[in-house]
A and B are shown apart, each in its own frame.
Chain A
């Protein structure tokens, strides 16, 4: 499918488990982002990447790890899930130089029990 996809769309996991959220985009966009959405906070940036093998922390990076070995993929890993990481996670991408566009994936709803 063309565009930006996320998998899984829904996930329930237990406290302490490792879970990986996948993000894939077909446009070969340089920049990719992970946000989390929580009531009362809007969306907050977790990590971002400017290119393959270049990643940096956002506003709320604690407890998360990212990698970007290929331009089109940007997985987000919760190393040891906590209840406070229950949230909706959005992946986004944009092309370098296209400052007014940022395309969002459909989101992953994660529940940590």
Chain B
């Protein structure tokens, strides 16, 4: 079984500052993938970034980076230079190695960016 834990129900950040959203995971699979999704108030799920368990380098996509620490089983999302439009719910999710791509989600973190 897989489990994702997001311990921060809500986070606040000042515009233009960086913010880290925490995610820890648990799995017995050797091969797995970690995802971050953004859900704005409009409700759609927007894919942000992906990290495979065998990827040696941390994934980056524009202002988003994934701080992958395999030994600690953490996959934190770092958003640099926060913008007002970053205010949203953020979900960490995991895909197991033999799970047809099924995703297990964390509970989410609501990020609020202040001007």
Contact = CB atoms under 8 A, between A and B. Distances in A.
Given A99-B33, A99-B101, A102-B101, A43 B91 contact: yes
Secondary structure call for the A interface? strand
Contact of B108 (A33, A42, A99): A42
B36 to A, nearest CB: 12
B33 A58 contact: no
A31 B102 CA distance: 9
Interface in A33-55: 33, 35, 40-45, 48, 50
B103 to A, nearest CB: 6
B28 to A, nearest CB: 17
Given A100-B50, A102-B47, A104-B45, A42 B102 contact: no
Contacts of B47: 101-104
Given A88-B43, A102-B47, A58 B105 contact: no
B75 to A, nearest CB: 14
Contact of A104 (B44, B52, B102, B107): B44
B43 A106 contact: yes
A24 interface: no
A90 B37 CA distance: 13
Given A50-B100, A90-B45, A104-B44, A43 B105 contact: yes
Interface string A80-113: 0000000010101010000111111011010000
Interface of B: 4, 6, 33, 35, 37, 43-45, 47, 50, 52, 91, 93, 95, 100-108
